Amino acid sequence: MTDTPVLLSLSNITKRFGALTANDSISLDLHRGEILALLGENGAGKTTLMNILFGHYVQDEGDVRVLGNGGLRALPPGSPGAALRAGIGMVHQHFTLAENLSGLANIRLGTEPLVSFGREGAARAKVQKIIAESGLDVDLERRVADLTVGEKQRIEILKALYRDAKVLILDEPTAVLTPQEAEGLFAVLRRLAANGLGVIFISHKLGEVLAVSHRILVLRGGKTAGELETAVADRRAIADLMVGKAVAAVVRTPANPGEVLFALEDVSLHGAGGGRALSGVHLTLRAGEVVGLAGVSGNGQSGIAALISGLAVPTSGTMRLYGDTVTRPDPRALVAKGVARMPEDRQHDGVVGTMSVADNIAIEEVRSGAFSRMGLLDRKAMRERAASAISAYDVRCQGPDAEARLLSGGNVQKLILARVLERGPRVILANQPTRGLDVGAQAEVHRRILAARDRGAAVLVISEDLDELFALADRFVVVHAGELQDAGPSDGLDRGTIGLMMAGQGPAAAELAS
């Protein structure tokens, strides 16, 4: 791609937030027709860099230049309007569409008046031309509220192309897509690149990066860690760059499932507004087995997690723990009975930021008397437990008294792991256990989960990353529109079959289609 013109050039971009340097002299060039993958763990500086490019932040040093008439021209800092006029388009992970308007109206929104005599026909013709050239086929007349997630994403991309974008930034674009929808997106991106568009593809899924990009830029700790041509890259090389050292592979050995420790029997759960979040769900978790729960975000995973955590009560059906019916789920009682959870939102639901590491590790056991003497907290015992956990789980912090809010995302997750696993729980809910973590931290979390399984725990892993589920799960279940399907042992499955089930096809139909 180096023989094609540079569309975008970032030179020595530095951005500081107080004492923290989020971007430290980062440079990159994006060429016409190139798909550049931008990788890095949570906190590596990717989001800050893109916010500078799109004008949401102003850099302290360096400049951004975009191809215009007469060559590369400096982009005024801190101006999203200037970025849009220069041809930079961005599709965020969470879409910003007006659900009550049509696809065409959303594409035009913010660019031109929706009510303008004779303009709608010209706008429709322009969009249809873009669709023909890009393959972004979607019904422009339907309300956005009635479109699938993949179709909504296509509207977002069409919106950027309608504004004559030369550069398209996609932030974690497959997080809400089935594997089949992701493959469709990749085909579109390849076609757009072939037509001269430059694409920056931000992701943490190494398989997707290898499948769609031409070049890979890795950030680590706010700096450029390295650059690879995708044609000669592999997962190990990328992982080593992201972490800064070799990452040992985690191998899942065959499971030896035992007795059923937790079960949902024909469970339904009402969601917000009285609608059904779950309908007639059957789920069994056995000792010594990891069950992987796959599904497009928002299809019922949060309801299942809430039931296991004791944060929700079934509207109908039966929940059993160790064979006994749970009539009134209570988080504290479930913890006391050996149920542990790694919550999806670890920063808000997993720790209390203003409390110390020692307090956060002990927080679920304080009422049990494990850390009290004669009715008073045993601070020495809490610090000793924390010091042991910090060492065993490599929690990088300033000791047991450090505030949890000062820890990175990866270290918060290690803290939660220590709190969850050191008690030797019998049932474990791991909800998005490695989201945003670098591959080294991911590997450590995976090792700990599999070790818990091998000690006899029943584990449910909820993840939007199929690579993660295939690495951990002995058995798959798939949720779609609040209904759960048993996909069977993971060794007999592939991504295509799971993807079709995520889209609502039954196991038999998915198997035939794949």
- Cα separation values, 262 from 152, 281, 428, 429, Å: 37, 13, 10, 11
Report how far Cα 233 is from the mean position of its chain's Cα atoms.
23
Predicted local distance difference test score (pLDDT) of residue 148: 83
CATH fold match for the domains 6-243 and 259-349+423-512: yes
- CATH code for residues 259-349+423-512: 3.40.50.300
Predicted local distance difference test score (pLDDT) of residue 275: 59
Distance CA 511, CA 117 (A): 51
Predicted local distance difference test score (pLDDT) of residue 436: 66
User: Which amino acid, 487?
Assistant: A
Predicted local distance difference test score (pLDDT) of residue 305: 93
Predicted local distance difference test score (pLDDT) of residue 62: 96
Can you list the alpha helix ranges (DSSP code H) found in 142-204?
Answer: 149-162, 179-194
- Cα separation values, 111 from 124, 240, 311, 342, 408, Å: 14, 43, 44, 43, 39
Distance CA 53, CA 62 (A): 11
Residue 206 CB neighbours (<10 A)? 21
Predicted local distance difference test score (pLDDT) of residue 319: 96
Does the structural domain 6-243 have CATH classification 3.50.50.60? no
Residue 259 burial by Cβ neighbours in a 10 Å radius (0-12, 13-18, 19+): exposed
Predicted local distance difference test score (pLDDT) of residue 381: 84
User: Whole-model pTM?
Assistant: 0.76
Distance CA 154, CA 184 (A): 10
| The pair of three-digit structure tokens given for residue 388, joined into one six-digit string | 């042991």
For β-strands 61-68 and 35-39, DSSP reports them as: unpaired
Predicted local distance difference test score (pLDDT) of residue 336: 87
Predicted local distance difference test score (pLDDT) of residue 382: 86
485: Cβ contacts below 8 Å, ≥ 6 apart: 477, 478, 479, 501, 506, 507
Predicted local distance difference test score (pLDDT) of residue 16: 94
**Full pLDDT tens readout for the chain, 514 residues:** 667 899 999 999 999 988 889 999 999 999 999 999 999 876 788 889 999 998 999 999 999 999 988 889 999 999 999 999 999 998 887 788 999 999 999 999 877 776 665 678 888 999 999 999 888 889 999 999 998 888 898 999 999 999 999 999 998 888 777 888 888 899 999 999 999 999 999 987 888 899 999 999 999 889 999 999 999 999 888 888 887 877 777 889 999 999 999 999 999 998 765 556 899 999 999 999 999 999 988 889 989 999 999 999 999 999 999 999 998 888 888 988 999 998 887 667 778 888 888 988 888 776 666 676 766 777 888 888 889 888 888 888 888 888 888 887 778 888 888 888 888 899 999 998 887 677 777 888 899 999 999 999 999 999 988 889 999 999 999 999 999 999 999 998 998 999 999 988 866 555 555 5
For residues 317, 320, 326, 329, the Cα torsion angle rounded to the nearest 10 degrees is -90
Predicted local distance difference test score (pLDDT) of residue 207: 86
Distance CA 279, CA 263 (A): 15
Predicted local distance difference test score (pLDDT) of residue 416: 87
| The pair of three-digit structure tokens given for residue 351, joined into one six-digit string | 């720790």
343 contacts 431 by C-beta, under 8 angstroms: yes
Predicted local distance difference test score (pLDDT) of residue 431: 92
| The pair of three-digit structure tokens given for residue 441, joined into one six-digit string | 């931290």
SS (H, E, C) 385-433: HHHHHHHHCCCCCCCCCCEHHHCCHHHHHHHHHHHHHCCCCCEEEEECC
- Domain boundaries in the chain? 6-243, 259-349+423-512, 352-406
Distance CA 35, CA 216 (A): 9
